[in-house]
Structure 1
């Protein structure tokens, strides 16, 4: 149980928007998924697991929550996929302009259309690093361009999109894909240097969209569309640690947790993964013992966007 309704039950002084360096936005949306339903329950399961997670990280000897993590009100717009994307876009952009490190937890992958759009408008020369089992490059699906199957179509047109872990796609998606920037799971399995190759393709400013079905279903069965042959825990952490160390990660989202009440382990994996990603972002920048970090300017933030845009 979460005794104070803060992220992970952290003390109030680390959970206030004014002083927090990090914003976490839950997006309990499952409006366009086409097989396993339940991603709208993902944020609640993630937050419940987070509240029962140890907050000391052994690997880095740190407690990243001391940077301050503000749990934002959830985005609950569900009148249409387009309205959801618009709500995510405007909300994310607002927090970025307050110099916060913005993160999201879904919900299904269509929410990333809005988050990527906001980050692309706020950061110069953005790279989108998609870690996913599915290509998600359709221009339109089931009558909407804001479907989970279209999650990175816009990013492929407007950003430097690098795709990692792909092992399921429709033939039409090849027409939108830059195969020089796609790392298929079956090739990664025999390539000892795939991490180096990915990092070489990333620009300085990176937004990560992490679909949990990128992970192997033996460790992450709780997704709407599990695919065999995915990433495992320690190789995922090694890769993420290197990305955070070598690039300026400007934000990230985690999507597609479809919780199963009979198996809570995937919920805890998602909670731990989120916390690890924050830990890698702020490793070496831990706040003082008694005060959360005061958010200053965000590295890489553009200065030419319009206040009226959000």
Structure 2
């Protein structure tokens, strides 16, 4: 497979191969970092993911083809968070699917707001270690610890992988009923329940700290425990086989150590599990597929 070594393009796909007009998927790097509270470095996340994507194979043996051929993918230049809503709105209006690379989690409400303008019955599926339900934190309502609280002002949300929540967040969730849509990391038999709680049109937000730190250690606020690669993959497959995924983001990668390049590589592949959700694809328990095989199933196979 030819390599082009262009760090600004996801998978190094040349514009001559798939320009904006021909592409179904549009990658939006959004290196916003303003409120990280522990480890820093999420502003470097998009560049690290794009660079790592150079090492991801295009061909996926599960689907049997180079997945980008089914829809095309185009990468925009990095955008400031203030420009994110208009960019997402334009992409959706043109019948394309936005894939946002953060950056910290506070970018998610900006993308969700634009998606909700087009899809009136939108819901959000959050993969995260943290509830992110604070009304404000450190004097700001736009702190990354408030991301899902802001999302819930726009549309309903279901939360998966949660294993860190404050007393105030817990009480608020209990009073509002959101507690019934919070699924902890150790409770994995939840695919059917999640399906029933989501609307037809779904936006996915994937905070990489949802994973066990042994999978992705390069994140600003890691938590003990967490989900493993195939657990997340299987949940994504189940959701996307039943729902219309209109867009998604991958956030909170902090690539601060050269020793942790594998985390960036896995983050580059995070859109990949979504693609495996093609209705023609199924997953068997105990599959012997390698992580690399999953990584080759890229996002443009969604909804084909």
Shorter-chain TM band: 0.7 to 0.9
Q: Secondary structure at the match of 1:164?
A: strand
Give 5+ residue unaligned stretches, structure 1: 78-83, 285-294, 300-310
TM-score, normalised on structure 2?
0.85
Q: Secondary structure at the match of 2:29?
A: strand
Equivalent-residue separation in structure 1 for 2:167 and 2:45 (angstroms): 30
Report the counterpart of residue 53 of structure 1 in structure 2: 56
Whether 1:235 and 2:231 are equivalent positions in the alignment is yes
How far does residue 209 in structure 1 lie from its aligned partner after superposition?
0.5
Report the counterpart of residue 180 of structure 2 in structure 1: 180
Q: Report the more deviating stretch, 143-152 or 275-284.
A: 275-284
Give 5+ residue unaligned stretches, structure 2: 282-299
How far does residue 279 in structure 1 lie from its aligned partner after superposition?
4.6
From 69, 92, 110, the counterpart of 2:88: 92
How far does residue 87 in structure 1 lie from its aligned partner after superposition?
2.2
CA RMSD of aligned residues (A): 2.1
Report the counterpart of residue 291 of structure 2 in structure 1: none
From 161, 166, 170, the counterpart of 2:166: 170
How far does residue 96 in structure 1 lie from its aligned partner after superposition?
1.3
From 74, 95, 100, the counterpart of 2:78: 74
From 258, 271, 275, the counterpart of 1:261: 258
How far does residue 176 in structure 1 lie from its aligned partner after superposition?
3.5
How far does residue 11 in structure 1 lie from its aligned partner after superposition?
3.5
TM-score, normalised on structure 1?
0.83
How far does residue 113 in structure 1 lie from its aligned partner after superposition?
1.4
Q: Secondary structure at the match of 1:263?
A: helix
Q: Secondary structure at the match of 2:275?
A: helix
Q: Secondary structure at the match of 2:43?
A: helix
Report the counterpart of residue 18 of structure 2 in structure 1: 15
How far does residue 3 in structure 1 lie from its aligned partner after superposition?
2.9
The answer to whether the Cα contact below 8 Å between 2:217 and 2:260 also exists between their aligned partners in 1 is no
How far does residue 184 in structure 1 lie from its aligned partner after superposition?
1.5
Equivalent-residue separation in structure 2 for 1:10 and 1:49 (angstroms): 13
How far does residue 283 in structure 1 lie from its aligned partner after superposition?
6.2
How far does residue 33 in structure 1 lie from its aligned partner after superposition?
0.3
Equivalent-residue separation in structure 2 for 1:199 and 1:165 (angstroms): 15
Whether 1:113 and 2:116 are equivalent positions in the alignment is no
* Change beyond 3 A, Cα 1:283–1:276: farther
Whether 1:223 and 2:239 are equivalent positions in the alignment is no
Number of aligned pairs? 275
